[in-house]
Amino acid sequence: MNTTQKETMKRAEFLRSLSLGTSTLMAVYCLGSLTSCSTGEMDPVTTPPTPTTPGGTTGLTGNATTSAGAINFTVDLTNATYSKLKTAGSFAIIGDLIVAFSTTKTYVALSKVCTHEGTTVQYRSAENDIYCPNHGSEYALTGTVDNGPAVASLKAYKAVVSADGNTLTVTA
Ligand code: FES
């Protein structure tokens, strides 16, 4: 066997071993994937980031969730996320609340949770009220029920806008 034949042989053996190795690697990889899926683990690379407490750069500071204590937060109405709240007839869901700038240009902040079965409510500018899309309950901007099936009012919070109209403070 000359050098060229030896090299050819080595190459052929190498390719065979590589082929076997690739199959083996694929099998191990697939088994690994199945094992990961069957245990319900998530790929850490694709796991969405855990939400953090809103900060100044998000246009929201303070606490907007009832589970974290008393509601007390400030909305930067110049921030792109919330600047729509400067337009009468608009609303935003912020934490556990619905905040609306009514067609009569008053800010209201209410619990977003319909007291019937917990659906997130909406502000309707045409009716200037709060509406639940699930079963049609209607609430006044004070939170009281206008039409059921809900019977209990939405909790109302204080919403005070700054003199320059750029900051909204919501407190319990
Ligand atoms: S959940 Fe709102 S009306 Fe039923």
Task: Look at residue 118 and give its three-state secondary structure.
Answer: coil
Q: Is 77 in the pocket of ligand 1 (CB under 6 A)?
A: no
Domain boundaries, the chain: 1-48, 56-171
Q: Cis omega (within 30 of 0) on the bond before 149?
A: yes
In the reported structure, the alpha carbon of residue 82 is separated from the centroid of ligand 1 by a whole-number distance in angstroms of 26
pLDDT at res. 147: 96
pLDDT tens per residue, range 51-87: 444 445 689 999 999 898 999 999 999 999 999 999 9
Residue 149 exposure: Cα atoms within 13 Å on the Cβ side: 7
Domain 56-171 has CATH 2.102.10.10: yes
pLDDT at res. 23: 44
- Ligand 1, atom 3, lies closest to the CA of 135
pLDDT at res. 68: 86
In the chain, which stretches have pLDDT less than 70? 1-57
- Give the full edge-to-edge strand order of the sheet including 145-147: 122-124, 129-131, 138-139, 145-147
Q: Is 62 in the pocket of ligand 1 (CB under 6 A)?
A: no
Residue 167 exposure: Cα atoms within 13 Å on the Cβ side: 10
Give 22's DSSP letter. Answer: H
pLDDT at res. 10: 55
In the reported structure, the alpha carbon of residue 72 is separated from the centroid of ligand 1 by a whole-number distance in angstroms of 26
pLDDT at res. 38: 39
pLDDT at res. 48: 46
In the reported structure, the alpha carbon of residue 108 is separated from the centroid of ligand 1 by a whole-number distance in angstroms of 20
In which residue are the tokens 């000359």 written?
A: 2
